A and B are shown apart, each in its own frame.
Chain A
Amino acid sequence: MSVVPVAAPPIVEAPVAAASKEGRHFTLGSLPLHIALILLTVIWIVPTLGLLVSSFRPGFLVNRTGWWTAFSPPFQFTLQNYSDVLQSNNLFASFLNSLTIAIPATVIPIAIAAFAAYAFAWMRFPFRNALFLLLVGLLAVPLQVTLIPVLTAFKVLQLNGSFLGIWLAHTGYGLPFAIYLLRNFFGSLPNDLFESASIDGAGPVTMFFRLVLPLSVPALASLAIFQFLWTWNDLLVALVYLGGDPAVAPMTVTVANLVGSLGQSYELLTAAAFVSMALPLVVFLAMQRYFVRGMTAGAVKG
């Protein structure tokens, strides 16, 4: 997915004036608006709902009748699909692999980016602007242009098919965005803060740990969510560098393979898909505020 800076135009985080809230009550005239909006929302939920319902229906029904018939008697639901995919289709192992990939691939780039971002925001050095401009340019570069040489190097170093290799790859690919986001946030901290700390005799290390990091928790949280969702949901990087070895394959690779091998067994495919979606959905619902704030504050990675 792509890494691109978004949202230059000043986006005011809305102290919404009362005036714009007018019309926020139901009137007959606004009925078409409500109908259209609710209809669109329903259209947006139906695909996920169909998936969820089907994953609890017995296989012989899923392939014969639509998922919506599950809401009329006889109500036939089962947990069999989940126990099937978790046990026999390698899904539980893949879940652990996804965790093993995504957690370090989130922590490592953020740690490395934080120091670099601080230097870009508050230290003076030759080529600083040129180097940062290079990083901004790299945000748009499709990572397809890196796959062949990196894979070749990984094969020589025996890093292909290893967690270490994919952590490094995700770190390299995630850094431009992480540095970009953090540098913009660090740079927006008030200058006086650093001046008074400096007068008190604090060096850059003290200022970074005592001042910048505690103040940047929201930005770090946004970045962590982006990076986690990106690495958890990544297919291409895992496909290329892990080489389809089921022992290390994350959920995305395993589920994509199941689509090929299970074909039309949608009761199993839907259960597998839902297992792969569960954690990102929980993360998203719990941290939605940071997610949205990070996106509107300056950037997004898809």
Chain B
Amino acid sequence: MDAQRITFLVGAVVGVPVVLVLYIVVTDWLIRRLPPAQHGRVRPWLWVGPALLLVTGFLIYPGLATAWISLFTNDGKSFVGLANFGKVLGDHSVLIAIRNNVLWLVFYTGLVLVFGLILAVMADRVPYEGPVKSLIFMPMAISFVAAGLIWSFMYQYQPNLPGVHQTGTLNAVWVNLLHQQPIAWVIDERVNNFALIFAAVWVWTGFAMVITSAALKGIPPELTEAARVDGATELQVFARITVPLLTPTLTVIGTTLVIFALKAFDIIYVMTNGLYNTDVMARRMYGEMFTSQNYANSAAIAMLLLLAVIPVLIFNLRRFQFQEAIR
């Protein structure tokens, strides 16, 4: 790293907090010169000011601007109403992308929740819980780019010819142990969307497991013990007591997963770049933006994504207000 870069980096890491602290200290000194009645009125705005400015500049204003762009022709000159949405939704390949997002929504969310729940419950009953949870959780630390590459390697395909070995782990098991014909998991349209989804499931299962596990440990043991004393089997305890008590937690994890499923981008970008009918909305939006240079279509797709997220957004707001009310 050259000297200029280091100066730049240190300048940002040290400089920004120092400037912020100075800003707070100096404005506070000024506030104290004001009549006391004014202190409480001015100070909060100075403290939230920088954050509100950045949030407005990077989220609120651009969001509104995108909505605006989506209502005009690509050159931005003539208003076309919802015509861009009609055009986008009339495009067969966009419909495929929407279908794939639905697959992501259902299977990604469902599988992560199920695997997370099963692993949390199983790990809770063994003495080596810690190491198991760490290992399952580890993929959360790596990028989706790396995860995509890892799974492309897992899914590698070699033709089934004498002298040719399967180098992909999955096909090696499939061909050598189960004696099936090798499958091009990423290309074969019967399985490829599920292959991509599973790569993301692999990354996120640890997330669901860790949170479910924490909630599981919050269940009073008396409840499950009482059921066992009354003669309930382990399966009944799990289905009738554990799962219902975990439902609020699973719902909350689910909302995070649903948003992720709608925005899925990196895995698809790395593994197929949307080819072989694996495209999704977020990848398509990026493609319209850079490959086709069609900002109007791209904005329309982004708005459709936002629309899809709105039920989750409302759910989150309601839940937040409920939480605040009981605080």
Residues of A within 8 A of B (CB): 1-2, 4-14, 16-17, 19-20, 23-25, 30, 33-34, 36-37, 40-41, 44-48, 50-51, 54, 62-68, 96, 99-100, 103-104, 107-108, 111-113, 115-116, 118-120, 123-125, 128-129, 131, 133, 135-150, 163, 167-169, 171-173, 175-176, 179, 203-205, 208, 229, 232-236, 239-240, 251-252, 255-256, 259, 266, 269-270, 273, 276-277, 280-281, 283-285, 288, 292, 295-296, 300, 302
Contact = CB atoms under 8 A, between A and B. Distances in A.
A297 to B, nearest CB: 9
A147 B256 contact: no
Given A11-B214, A66-B172, A266-B167, 6 more contacts: A107-B12, A123-B40, A142-B306, A163-B8, A276-B145, A277-B143
A22 to B, nearest CB: 9
A14 B62 contact: no
B320 A19 contact: no
A146 B62 CA distance: 5
Contacts of A137: 313, 316-317
Interface in B296-316: 298-299, 301-303, 305-306, 309, 312-313, 316
A94 B169 CA distance: 29
B91 to A, nearest CB: 18
Contacts of A138: 55, 59-60
Interface string B143-184: 111101111111010000000011111001000000000000
21 contacts: A6-B211, A9-B252, A11-B218, A14-B218, A44-B139, A48-B138, A66-B172, A107-B17, A115-B20, A119-B44, A144-B301, A145-B67, A146-B58, A172-B59, A175-B55, A205-B28, A235-B145, A240-B289, A251-B143, A259-B270, A296-B210
B253 A6 contact: yes
Nearest to A139: B316
Contacts of A36: 122
Given A107-B17, A116-B47, A281 B149 contact: no
Q: Which secondary structure dominates where chain B touches chain A?
A: helix
A235 B269 contact: yes
B136 interface: yes
Interface in B8-54: 8-9, 12-13, 16-17, 20, 24-25, 28, 32, 40-41, 43-45, 47-48, 50-52, 54
Contact of A128 (B44, B135, B215): B44
A67 B289 CA distance: 39
B5 interface: yes
A301 B131 CA distance: 23
Contact of A145 (B57, B222, B306, B324): B306
Given A41-B132, A51-B150, A142-B309, A124 B252 contact: no
B107 interface: no
A256 B166 CA distance: 24
A185 B135 CA distance: 28
Contacts of B306: 141-142, 144-145
Contacts of A239: 286
- Closest 4 interchain pairs by CB? A172-B58, A14-B217, A284-B141, A233-B143
Given A4-B256, A233-B144, A277-B143, A144 B302 contact: yes
